[in-house]
Homo-oligomer: A and B are copies of this chain.
Amino acid sequence: MTEIVPIIHIIDDDDSVRKAVSRLLKAAGYAVKSYATSGEFMMAENLESPGCIVLDVRMPGPSGLELQSALARRGNGLPIIFLTGHGDIPMSVRAMKAGAVDFLTKPVQRQELLSAVQNALDRQAKHLSEQTRNQHIRECYATLTEREREIMAHVVEGKLNKQIAATMGIAERTVKAHRAQVMSKMQVDSLADLVRTASGLEPSDG
């Protein structure tokens, strides 16, 4: 069993800060990776695996806030904990609005950072499992033909086969055929499941 260990990504241009934070987190049992710039981080590999980011705001090159929005644009779900020595209120508010888990100021209390990291990892775990589930649903949905999707939409709306057949101008038998395909391809065995599954397709976070 190679257990999947979450990785804490530390991004800070200050070498001493990186080392200090890294040491603190390693001592707490976390796997840590450090980067001196946003760009260096973006080059890394494990950007989609579980973990979180401890991010400095003010850095040479792209700032922490810029990195945050860049990650958001490409749908990266890694939670971010800001850690800065030269922040102000508008900056922190902007970061929090953009979804940051926390916004801490240096010097940071050991416990403060640790609990922030724990929160971040919890959030990430939840986000990741939901993501995985929705991903599977989308893959199933992708195997549906255009026609099957139309039928599915009607079925999920609660329409009767008869009604669907009427509005689509086809025989009820055909609706049944497509419907069976939908149930099979979506890997559900009850209408209730299909409806729930379908709700995992619409949401905004995609």
User: Is A110 in the interface zone, CB < 8 Å from B?
Assistant: no
User: Is A66 in the interface zone, CB < 8 Å from B?
Assistant: no
Q: In the complex, are the beta carbons of A89 and B90 less than 8 A apart?
A: no
Size band of the interface chain A makes with B: 20 to 34
Which chain A residues numbered 142 to 196 have a C-beta less than 8 Å away from chain B? 155-159, 189-193, 195-196
* Residue numbers in B under 8 Å from A192 (CB-CB): 155-158, 191, 195
CB distance from A157 to the nearest CB of B (A): 6
Main secondary structure of the interface of A (DSSP, over half): helix
CB distance from A160 to the nearest CB of B (A): 8
* Residue numbers in B under 8 Å from A92 (CB-CB): 89, 92-93, 96
Pick the most buried of A87, A103, A199: most chain B CB atoms within 10 A of its CB: A103
29 pairs of residues in contact across A and B, judged by CB atoms under 8 Å: A87-B89, A88-B89, A89-B89, A89-B92, A89-B103, A89-B105, A92-B93, A92-B96, A93-B96, A93-B102, A93-B103, A96-B96, A96-B97, A97-B102, A156-B192, A158-B189, A158-B190, A158-B191, A158-B192, A158-B193, A159-B190, A191-B191, A191-B192, A191-B195, A192-B195, A195-B195, A195-B196, A196-B199, A199-B199
Which residues of A pack against B, CB within 8 Å? 87-90, 92-93, 96-97, 102-103, 105, 155-159, 189-193, 195-196, 199
